[in-house]
Structure 1
């Protein structure tokens, strides 16, 4: 006895629920052939194609479902999801809005609309959706994080701070949230930027990193090289480049290095550095972890690296443990003109010159260069910093 239309559709739905998308597609294609007017079958087939990553076929099937049943709210929701995956943000917004029009308390569609509105730059619309969800009692941590990030982008800092404070109470050990809360309030900075944030930021940034810094007239590597040249004339140094990034310090410092070693948290940045053929070794590691290795250097450099550390004492102490007598540690910092340490809105640590001098002294270094400088420009404003070279005696 042949299977019924209902049995074939149900088998396809069961396979879809189990995540067996190719098998689900085969059964659901049978279902739509047998029931070509079934909006439910076409919607299920669209979801299976989405699971396989075939966005074009998923959209075609989903649009067929909404044509067959213009009141099928779940089909419009799925169409919004498919269009969002495809980057068709206007169509995604329209589909989510239609789903909500059909079912006003359709919170999954409302959250989808919030996310896509945020992606498309409609931040006020996104915040309106998030607030409606929160008022309805949907305030789990992932949604609150999305709300906080969107509010910050829109400039609604009070809302962003409120959301992050709630998250902090729920997850006090969440270092990324603690760091972002500190950048908003300027209070209670954690010891360092979470390593996961640094890695993600620079992996995403790698392809445009040097072009962007050029536009900002970034001069950290050149300033650092000139400062070191005032203290060191040898050309066979063992040099460690902390936070080497794409290798901007490699070019000037290669000429004074017998061996040049780079370390960075971002694999994508290290790929760019490798392409320059300037370094003898490149390592993907966190700064303090790498400095725990029992290797001695003549010179350690850190251009635009200490901005990711609030507490500088561990870095200066670790660097000193890897430098022999007469060796140097050269670095740049961005300046704070008030507190010793503060996290700026752009997620960088700023340090007061007085604080840096105190850490240098407490760590057993002696200052050879400690000059005010302009590191780069942002929004046509000079960014003040310090370029320094300290020596171990």
Structure 2
């Protein structure tokens, strides 16, 4: 099984075979600057031992103009995933071969409905009797994992994420890459070459109680810039903590602002406004996300199973500024904006702004 050299920690499947409550979820995004649209594929598996009320898989797709598609996979025995690295798939029905990575032609021949994905390949076909069919096949060349160019890949939550004390775990799999291929959505075919791509994952027993997230790697006039930021109230052993981070890749360098190396502040409205500012030795970053769109409700794993508990748009506005701090001076390293940001809030309560100063 060939693994890409930019494979990050936690790329492999985390389930230990036990029947305890468990989920793992993956997110793959392709941004199409020429059309101003985005496709985001969200896969999840819950209680994979089977026989539980929430056992099964889900594929959600966020499409053009924040369109939405969802298909469930009740049979956990038709799910496969690699322990050693990024590779997974799920099939509906009873294909004539065992669940595993197939060649592209084998997949088309054997799998009536399903998907398969690795660090470099993404292929699938899903057909909903009401919503219609979605098909896709593209290849990806990673540019940034979660580290500076030439450096060892890092865990998103630092070294502690290798210990099972956080709920949930979170790992950016690929901060930036380029995808080439096609996606067919509601009868329209989108072909793309070197479209900005991104992927991440979560795993554990439930999502955070409350969270927010920003992502963009298709900035106007600045090709070599990738932003991922987020925060949440998550469980650590027996207590809850509020944490947030900003990660930037630019010019071969990874700029990481996390609670143990930076002062991280935020102001997040229940919907429509995201603002973060982080300061650490030598650097300052400021991120602002806004949208006038209503967004689309998405499902996420909870202790009660998959429920609609978060709101997203893939067409948000975002601006980011990164400075180098020398003495009392701030020297701008990069400033950029985009109208193709992923913006999200989830959990709750969201009856008032969430402010951390």
Q: Would the TM-score normalized by the shorter structure come out above 0.5?
A: no
The bucket for the TM-score relative to the shorter chain is: under 0.3
User: Structure with the greater relative contact order (CA < 8 A, sep ≥ 6): 1 or 2?
Assistant: 2
Higher relative strand content: 2
TM-score (norm 2): 0.26
Larger radius of gyration: 1
TM-score (norm 1): 0.24
